[in-house]
Structure 1
Amino acid sequence: MKLDALDTGIELRNKHLRENYLHTEKFPEASLKIEKIEKLNDQLADKSSAKENFVPVLTLRGKTMPIQGATYQIEGKTVTADFRIELLDFEIERPMFMGIKVVDAVLVHVQFEMGG
């Protein structure tokens, strides 16, 4: 994923995100790969609609590490996945605005439709 393509909806916030936190000039891309996924065949065969575990491996700012506690679910052709990224694990400073620190983790929610 090209990090310069991230858009928060506010141009100044985009600039701060890219320059001050993600350092996109030095680290222009991030990647995510699936290292382990549980009960995928059951999910694909509609034998289970429960949330199952998977292990995504994230590369961000030159650091690669597995993300623990990630879940996914397939219902029909819709896939949803959720996981939490700890900013300090990737040496990203905790965002601050007017002296107020915002968060030290980002919750990621992904939803997409499978083709075919």
Structure 2
Amino acid sequence: MKWLLIPFLLFFSYQAFGQEYLTTKGQVTFLSKAPLNEFEGKSSSLNGLVNLESNLLDFFVDLNTLKTGIGLRDSHMRENYLETEKFPFAEFTGKLVQLPTLIMGNKTPVKAIGKFKIHGVEREIEVAGFLTLAQNGKVELDATFEILLSDYKIPLPKLVFYELAQEQKVTINAILTQKK
């Protein structure tokens, strides 16, 4: 009877070794929650890799693809604060603290430690999130972390200081497909 259970367990649960997943259309969102103004910036051009065999995570986004819903704010953000002509990308490269066992349909909590680079400054951060193995064999990633703009030498607007919060909440959502 035990031998009947083995294929069932292998189908619905597996230790995630030898698995490499990619995305080119993940979503990254930042939330700026200043006292008098709250807004989001979004991009659906997040590129990323989760390699569970070598325990490597690598995600990057072209900051020129971020949109806040107001064109003038977008161009000010790119030109005056993010300086995307000099620093066009934000990137996170890291490792999972512990390799997960993915069970189909279950949100598995994960934690990563790595380097986040934006505006030419790289700092070590910790990112908490979830990996979910879908029935189609894809993996969904949901993660959130916070950064301080001053840690990355990103200036706040001087005249309208309340328009941009010092602390930014960054959220990542991506469906990753297994590399063939």
Q: Distance in 2 between matches of 1:9 and 1:61?
A: 22
**Contact kept in structure 2, 1:80 and 1:111, CA below 8 Å:** yes
Report the residue type matching 1:64 in the other structure. Answer: E
Compute the TM-score of the two structures, normalised by the length of structure 2. Answer: 0.54
Shift in CA distance, 99/52, structure 1 to aligned 2, threshold 3 Å = closer
Per-residue deviation, 1:100: 2.6
Report the residue type matching 1:52 in the other structure. Answer: V
- Match status 1:74 vs 2:134: no
Task: Deviation per CA, 1:29-76: give whole Å up to 9, x if none.
Answer: 222212x2123332x345x745332113111111111113x1021123
- Match status 1:16 vs 2:76: yes
1:90 is matched with: 152
Give SS of 2:100's match.
helix
Q: Distance in 2 between matches of 1:2 and 1:91?
A: 18
Q: Which has the larger share of strand?
A: 2
Q: Deviating runs (4+, > 6 A) in structure 1?
A: none
**Contact kept in structure 1, 2:110 and 2:131, CA below 8 Å:** no
Percent pairwise identity:
29
2:119 is matched with: 61
**Please, which runs of 5 or more residues in structure 2 have no aligned partner?**
1-60, 135-139
Q: Distance in 2 between matches of 1:41 and 1:29?
A: 29
**Contact kept in structure 2, 1:96 and 1:102, CA below 8 Å:** no
Per-residue deviation, 1:23: 0.9
Task: Deviation per CA, 1:16-38: give whole Å up to 9, x if none.
Answer: 1001110112222222212x212
Compute the TM-score of the two structures, normalised by the length of structure 1. Answer: 0.79
Q: How many correspondences in the alignment?
A: 112
Radius of gyration: which is bigger?
Answer: 2
**Please, which runs of 5 or more residues in structure 1 have no aligned partner?**
none
Q: Distance in 2 between matches of 1:95 and 1:111?
A: 29
Per-residue deviation, 1:97: 6.5
Shift in CA distance, 51/97, structure 1 to aligned 2, threshold 3 Å = farther
RMSD after superposition: 2.3
